[in-house]
Amino acid sequence: MPEIKRIQELYELYGSYKRVARELHISKNTVKKYLHRIDDVRDGTVEEILPKHRTISRTRTVLTDALVAKIHQYLDSSSTYHEKQQITAKRIWELLIKENETVSYTSVKKVVSKYRAAHTIRTVSILQDPQQGIRAEFDWGMVILRIKGIEHRYSLAVIVSLHSLYRFARLYHRETRYEVIDAHLAFFNEIGAVPKTLFYDRMSTAYDSKKHQFHESFLEFALYFGFEPCACNVASPQEKGTDEESVGYVRRHAFGERSEFDSFEEAEEWLSMSLAEINSHPVYRRNEAPSLSLLSEVHEMLPLPTLAYSNFELRRGTINRYSLVSYETNLYSVPETYCSRHIHYKVTVRTIEFLDGDTIIATHRRLFGKGGYSMDILHYIKTFQMKPRALKYSKVMAGVDPRIQDLFNTQYSGNPQPFLDILDLAKETSVTQICEALDHLKRWNIQPEYSAIRFAINGRMQQPHIETLEIPMGFPVLEPDLKEYDRMMDVTR
């Protein structure tokens, strides 16, 4: 009866079946039933809210002790099998139905869950004490940055040395084998040594999960530097939990404060500054800051090889009629002086280098979008000399420095030939020096002609020195010695 009175009080207070049921942790239908019984007693329909002699009819329990024992027998019989071959609750229910049992699948699941909770062996991990120079861990993370107002997804490669907790990270556009190796090379060069073992998850760029071994190319890289690569077990993040946590820590520390940049290079610089700050402060259970602890740890690591490791992909491409080579849907210009229709080029993580034998004849910054162009106007000088009118609306002209575009549009759009002579200077020097010379001439209000630009590049043009002419308002006059005058007069007499 006290519970029924509480139901009545709460309903008069809230006026909601649902809220009363939620507060008393009972069914909404139970609240309704007893409130209706109270109304019936008030109306005289019934005499009591709860009858003294109630007959409660319950259905026979299907899940008997014998049935539970049978379910346990199925589970015991398959407990010695491989984990993936052990019998499931669904299969046990199907077998019971075949035996004309009327138990529900939900009831079987409850019995199986209770049994496994009581009989499954608890997994125990062994706490490790990392030694100096022995172990480092590698992992990937994902960051979302806005570059010039456009949202991009980038991959964050993170390497952490376990003893000192020195953290290293780099931003990349992809997660291929070349990016993995590039991150390792940058890490090794930064600390000036190589850890003896590095741990990885089973990433497909380095590890073949079907053969359960690292790729030969990655093993060659590890052998070159002398470290031992180790792969963690499947679904076992705790085996390299330090790096798992470091990915989130570096990501939050670096890009939680700021995620908008004017360029990818600015984001890389910001990440480097954030890492320097992270490594300069003491960390979890360490007496020294990671950067200081690393100084003593590197003495226990492996030395760097004498020769640098070459991390590039050599490819062969076809030059089209516009002197462009296509790579991953992007186009890169080749010097018009290169005669063959085919050319070899090196693809690195950040650049593409075109080769004539062993000589690099062109270098482009690698593009990662689709349908992009990387064109150097110096690759088309001879063609423009034969077709000067094609310069104004050419695609390569639209991609040059705005200062050179402004020079052409304001001074030489009607007569392109002198402009081509100016571009010839870039072959002897560089486009950057021409732009600096243009800034110099503009500052001193000098017409940007060929001779003036060449004069400025050669460094002979300096700020004119204007000497000030100061005329003193007066000058000192010594007082005359009259005795000397008298002596001279006596001599003349």
Rg (CA), the chain: 42
**Degrees to nearest 5, angle at CA 188 with 184 and 189:** 120
Range 75-97 average pLDDT: 88
Per-residue pLDDT band for 478 (boundaries 50, 70, 90) equals low
Q: Are 136 and 198 in contact (CB under 8 A)?
A: yes
pLDDT digits (tens, 9 = 90+) for 342-401: 999 999 999 999 999 999 999 999 999 899 999 999 999 999 999 998 998 999 998 898
Tell me the two tokens of residue 193.
């040594």
Place of tokens 């997660």: 175
Per-residue pLDDT band for 46 (boundaries 50, 70, 90) equals confident
pLDDT digits (tens, 9 = 90+) for 260-313: 999 999 999 999 999 999 999 988 778 899 999 999 999 999 999 999 999 999
Q: Helices 28-43 & 2-14, crossing angle to 10 degrees?
A: 100
Instruction: Centre a 10 Å sphere on the Cβ of residue 93 and count the other Cβ atoms it contains.
Output: 20
Q: Helices 431-443 & 417-428, crossing angle to 10 degrees?
A: 120
Residue-level length of the chain: 493
In sign, the C-alpha dihedral spanning 307, 312, 316, 320 is negative
pLDDT at 209 > cutoff 80: yes
**Degrees to nearest 5, angle at CA 165 with 161 and 166:** 70
Distance CA 238, CA 244 (A): 8
Instruction: Centre a 10 Å sphere on the Cβ of residue 465 and count the other Cβ atoms it contains.
Output: 5
Q: Are 35 and 11 in contact (CB under 8 A)?
A: yes
Place of tokens 């009866």: 1
Maximum pairwise Cα distance, the chain = 170
pLDDT digits (tens, 9 = 90+) for 91-149: 999 999 999 888 999 999 999 999 988 888 777 777 778 888 899 999 999 999 999 99
Percent pLDDT > 70 in the chain is 90
pLDDT digits (tens, 9 = 90+) for 9-45: 888 888 888 988 888 888 889 889 888 888 888 887 8
What does the pLDDT read at residue 14? 85
pLDDT at 460 > cutoff 60: no
pLDDT at 469 > cutoff 60: no
Place of tokens 């079987």: 108
pLDDT digits (tens, 9 = 90+) for 303-345: 999 999 999 999 999 999 999 999 999 999 999 999 999 999 9
pLDDT at 461 > cutoff 50: no
Distance CA 21, CA 315 (A): 72
What does the pLDDT read at residue 323? 95
Q: Calculate the alpha carbon distances from 312 to 140, 177, 316, 330, 336 in Å.
A: 21, 10, 13, 18, 25
Q: What is the pTM of this model?
A: 0.71
Backbone φ/ψ region at 65: left (φ over 0), alpha (ψ -120 to 50), beta: alpha
Q: Are 198 and 227 in contact (CB under 8 A)?
A: yes
Q: Which runs of E-coded beta strand occur in 195-257?
A: 197-200, 207-208, 213-214, 228-231
Q: Are 373 and 331 in contact (CB under 8 A)?
A: yes
In sign, the C-alpha dihedral spanning 292, 184, 172, 401 is positive
